Chains A and B, each alone.
Chain A
C-alpha cells in the first residue's frame, strides 16, 4: 500500500506577497528585479538533521540549492536556507511568473527531501529577495579544510556578519607580521577571485594574503579584483567603493589593532567574516535578508569547526563570539521570529560542546514613536473603538510596513482592527477591514481600483496572530499610484467579553506578551544608499514628547492613556533566548544614548503605576557616544589609515563581543552554557555598572570604552602627531 507523500508549500507571508505580488510595481530598495534566482528559507514543524539535507534537488521548474550548512554533532534544526534556480527555458519575464515558478517548485518538493523522514512534519518555504545573478555559482564545491597546524594553542574565534568588510585592511594583520588574522571571509556579493561559493566568493587567509601581495598592498585594487569595488554595474552599490562602511567600523571595534602596536595575544584570535550584500541594509521590509543572514550563521559555525580541528588541541573547548550589528523593528518580540528561532537553535546546539555567544545591538529607534500598545484600560475607558494614528510622511520613496501582534489566545475576531485612510484621501472605501482569521490571507487597499496597500492576517509560528499593513510609497514614478501621505488611523473594536490579557508572569516565570502590540518597521535611508526611504511614526496626543524641564522625554507617559511606548522598541532580531542584547551609552554622562532601544516596561495589571520589565531586555551597554558634542566612537574606514566616528548601538555591540573575546583569552576553556554565564564573566572583568531599570543600561556597563582599542587610540593619535610634526632643525 502506497503512502501519500506530503509536499512542501509556500508560506505566502505578507512581505513576500507585497514585494513580489500586489506591490511589485513599486520601488523596493535592494531588490534586483533582473535576477531570477530567488532566495528562501525552508521551515519544518519539527527539527530535522541538517546533515541529511541534500546539496540540491530538482523539480520540473528548476533546482533548489543549499549553501554551506553546519551539521556537526548531528545538529537538528527546523530551518534551512536555500536558493531556487529556475530552469533555463522558464518563462519568468515578470516577478509574478518568477514567483509562480518558485511556488510550483516548492509544491513539487516532497517533505522528506528537506526534512527527512520526520513523520507528520509540515514544511513551508519563505521566499526572500533574489540573489544577484553574477554572484551565483551553481556548480560550486566547498573549499578544502586546512591541514592541522603544527602547534596547537588555546584559540578564540570571533566572527562578524556585516556589510562592507575590508578584508585587506591593515588593522587585521597579525602582530607577528604573518599576514591577515582573517581566517575566512565569505563575501556574499563578490564575483571574482577567491573560492566560488553557491553565491559570492570565499577568501581564506592564504587567498587574502596572496591578493594583497599581488596588488602590492593597493587595497582598492584588491577589492576591484574581487568584484567588490570599482563599479561596472551602476545599479549595484558597493560599500567598499566608499571611504567608510558599516562593516569596517564594526570589525575594527570587534577585532582591529593598530599595526605595529598590537597585542600579541590577539594573534590567538581567529576571525571569520561574512560580508552581506549591500542590499541587505537597504531593504526596509526586514524580510529580504533572512536567507543571507541565516546562511552566514551556518557558514560561521561550519568554519569554526574547521578552525578548531586545525588549531585547537583535540577535545578543547573553542569559544566562538559572533557580532551581528543588524536589527529590525518588526517580529513577535518573543523569540519566535524566524531568524531569532533559528539562531537560538544553533547557539544552543553549539553551546553543548563549546562556549558560543551571539551579540546583537538593541536598536536605535527608542525616540521615534514606532511602537504602541493597547491594553484593557484603553478599551475599558473608550466609548467606541480605540484609535491610533499612524503618520505616513510625504516624499517617501519606499513602502511603509506596520505589524500588529495579538496576545496569546486572542484572535483577530476578538479585537477587530480597521485601517482608516486620511480624510480627503478619496480611497475606494472609508475604512478597510483586515481579512478574517485564517492561516494567512491578504486584502488590497485600493484607490481607483489600484492597490496602494495590503492588509494581511496571519497565524505565526508559536501560534500568535498578527496583522501586517504594507502601504505604497508616497512619492512614486510614472504609472504608479502613491499612497496618500498623512494621518492614517488604526481603529480597534473589542468584541471579546473577557479583558484583553495584560502582561503577566506565569508560574514558570515566563513573562507572556500582553495587550495588542504595534510596531512600525524601520524605514530609513541607511548609509545614504539613495533609497529615498522615510520613517513613518505614530501620533499620540497622550504621549508627552517633552519632559517638564524642556528636554525630549525619555520616559513613557502614563500607561493608562498613552498608546505610544519607547520601552519595547527593542530590535525584534535581538529577542531570542540565547543572544546578548547590547545598548549604547554616552561616555560623558553615563546615560543611555537617546536613541538606544530598550525592552518593554509594562504596567502590572494594566493601569497601575508600578512597571515591570517584560520580555527581552538590554543586558549590558557599551559606549556609543563620546559626549553630546562628540557623537559616535572612532573606528576604521574601508582603507587603512582612515577613521570615522560612528554612532548607534551597532558600535556598542562589537565592544561587548571584544570584551568577551579578551575574557576567553584570559580564561580559555570555560564551560559556558547560559547567557548569565557570559554576563557574569564580563562582570568579573569590567565591574558592575549602573542599576537596572529605567536608565536602560542593563545589568552591566562596559566601563572601558573599546577595551584594547582605547590604548590603540592613543597610539594612533601619537603616530598622527608624529607624522605631521616637522623637526625644524632636521628639516632645515
Chain B
C-alpha cells in the first residue's frame, strides 16, 4: 500500500469504449488460465454427452450418444469371450522387452508420442498441446461410464501368469481408456492437418504415422497385460467419434460421426486380434461391417450452438502447426 498514493486520491471515471465486457463471449477464453478453459470446455462437451445402459438378460447394451445421436453401442463381453481374449494378451507378453519403456511412460500420458510426428516443440505450441491434453481428458471421461456399464474383468483376474508390467487400474477393462484417448488424439490431429490443407508437408505420411501411433499406444496396453484386444477396438470406436465431435466443435461445423455397434461375443470377434489394419478400418471404414462383430452407420449431427468455445482453442492450435506448411 506504500505506493498507492502515487496514483492520486480522486475517483476514476468509467473505462471508455469496451469498458463493459461482453457477456458470454467466446473471446474471453484468452483471459482465462488453462484450468478454467478446461473446465468450461469439459462442461460444454458433457452437456450433450450421454451414456445409457439398457438392461436385458440376453442383449444388454451400453449406448454412448452426443446431442441425441448414438455413436457407440457395446454388448458386455461374456466369460467365454474373455477366456479366448486373455490368451491373446498372454501371447503379447514376449514383446514387453521391446516396449517396456514406452509402456511405462504412457501411464503418465501419450502427448509426447504424437508430438514428434508433427514437429511440435512444447515451448512454441502451447495451444496445440493444451488441445491434445483436453482431448485425452474428454476421451478418458467418455470411456468411463462404458467401463462401468460393461463391468469387464481385467486380464490378470483371469490368468495369474500375466503379472502386468504396470499396475492394473481399478476400473473395468472394456473399453480401453488409453485406446479411446489415442484414437481421439489421432482423429483430432488428422483433422487439424486436413483443415490446414494440402500445403502441409508430407500430409499423407504424417496422417498414417499419427494413426499408427494411436494404434501402438493401444496395443502397448495389451503387451503390458492390462487390456484385451477387444478393449482396444471398443476404445477406438469411442475415441474416433469423440475426436470428430471435438473437431466439429472447434470448427463450428456439423459432426460427421460413425455410429459403431460392437458385439465382442461374435464368433469371429472374440478370437480376433486388433492389428494396425483393423485400426485403419475403423478410422476410415470401407464397409458397413468394418470388423468382425462390428456394424457401422454414418450420422451427421448438428451442433447445439454455432458459437462453441472450442473454436477459440482450435484456431490457436491450428496456428501451432503452421510451421508444417510449405509456405511458412
Contact = CB atoms under 8 A, between A and B. Distances in A.
Contacts of A476: 275, 277
Interface in A387-428: 391, 393-395, 422-426
Contact of A474 (B87, B273, B280): B273
B273 A394 contact: yes
A394 B92 contact: yes
Nearest to B222: A394
Contact of A395 (B268, B275, B280): B275
A475 B275 CA distance: 6
Contacts of A423: 84
A482 B88 contact: no
B271 A395 contact: no
Contact of A425 (B91, B92, B271, B276): B271
B318 to A, nearest CB: 31
A410 B273 CA distance: 40
B319 to A, nearest CB: 33
A477 B275 CA distance: 9
Nearest to A485: B91
B91 A391 contact: yes
Contact of B88 (A391, A478, A480, A486): A486
A426 B219 contact: no
Nearest to A482: B275
A369 to B, nearest CB: 12
Nearest to B81: A424
A478 B271 contact: no
A124 to B, nearest CB: 38
Interface residues of B, number: 17
Contact of A478 (B92, B267, B270, B280): B280
B271 A393 contact: no
A394 B88 contact: yes
A482 B95 CA distance: 19
If over half of A's interface residues share one DSSP class (helix, strand or loop), that class is named, otherwise mixed; here it is loop
Contact of A486 (B87, B268, B270): B87
A559 interface: no
A482 B84 contact: no
B277 A426 contact: no
B277 A477 contact: yes
Contact of B276 (A424, A475, A480, A487): A475
A196 interface: no
Contacts of B219: 395
Interface string A455-482: 0000000000000000000111110101
Given A395-B95, A476-B275, A485 B268 contact: no
B277 A394 contact: no
A480 to B, nearest CB: 8
B58 interface: no
B94 interface: yes
A482 B273 contact: yes
A337 interface: no
Contacts of A487: 87
B270 A424 contact: yes
Contacts of A572: none
A220 B266 CA distance: 57
If over half of B's interface residues share one DSSP class (helix, strand or loop), that class is named, otherwise mixed; here it is helix
Interface string B87-123: 1100110110000000000000000000000000000
A482 to B, nearest CB: 7
A484 interface: yes
A424 B84 contact: yes
A478 to B, nearest CB: 6
Contacts of B95: 393, 395
Interface residues on A, range: 20 to 34
A705 B267 CA distance: 59
A484 B268 CA distance: 11
A426 B267 contact: yes
A526 B222 CA distance: 25
Contacts of B88: 394, 485-486
Contacts of B87: 422, 486-487
A485 B93 CA distance: 13
Contacts of A477: 277
Of the listed residues A395, A425, A426, A476, the one surrounded by the most CB atoms of chain B closer than 10 A to its CB is: A395
A404 B277 CA distance: 32
Contacts of A422: 87, 271
A226 B104 CA distance: 45
B91 A478 contact: no
Contact of A484 (B270, B271, B277): B271
Nearest to A537: B94
B277 A478 contact: yes
B159 to A, nearest CB: 14
A394 B91 contact: yes
A185 B273 CA distance: 48
A539 to B, nearest CB: 11
Interface string B259-293: 00000000110110101110010000000000000
B89 to A, nearest CB: 10
Contacts of A474: 273, 275
A425 B267 CA distance: 10
A482 B281 CA distance: 15
A423 B86 CA distance: 13
Nearest to A535: B94
A477 B276 CA distance: 8
A485 B88 CA distance: 8
Contacts of A482: 273, 275
Contact of B271 (A391, A394, A424): A424
Nearest to A478: B277
Nearest to B87: A486
Contacts of B273: 394, 474, 482, 484-485
A426 B271 contact: yes
Contacts of A391: 91
B99 to A, nearest CB: 10
Interface string A542-565: 000000000000000000000000
A425 B270 CA distance: 10
A486 B280 contact: no
Of the listed residues A391, A423, A425, A486, the one surrounded by the most CB atoms of chain B closer than 10 A to its CB is: A486
A477 B270 CA distance: 21
A393 B223 CA distance: 12
Contacts of A485: 88, 91, 273
Contacts of B275: 394-395, 474-476, 482
B86 to A, nearest CB: 12
Nearest to B274: A394
A393 B91 contact: yes
Interface string A476-498: 11101010111100000000000
Contacts of B276: 475
Contact of B94 (A393, A425, A478): A393
Contacts of A475: 275-277
B179 to A, nearest CB: 16
Contacts of B271: 422, 424-426, 484
A393 B277 CA distance: 17
B277 A395 contact: no
B270 A395 contact: no
Contact of B91 (A424, A480, A486): A486
A425 B277 CA distance: 18
A484 B273 CA distance: 8
B224 to A, nearest CB: 14
Contacts of B84: 423-424
Interface in B200-250: 219
Contacts of B94: 393, 534
B163 to A, nearest CB: 16
Can you list the 8 inter-chain pairs with the closest CB atoms, starting with the nearest? Answer: A424-B271, A424-B84, A475-B275, A394-B91, A485-B91, A394-B92, A394-B273, A486-B91
Given A426-B271, A475-B277, 12 more contacts: A391-B91, A393-B94, A394-B88, A395-B92, A395-B219, A423-B84, A424-B84, A424-B270, A426-B267, A474-B273, A480-B277, A482-B275
6 contacts: A393-B94, A424-B271, A474-B275, A482-B275, A485-B91, A486-B88
Interface of A: 391, 393-395, 422-426, 474-478, 480, 482, 484-487, 534
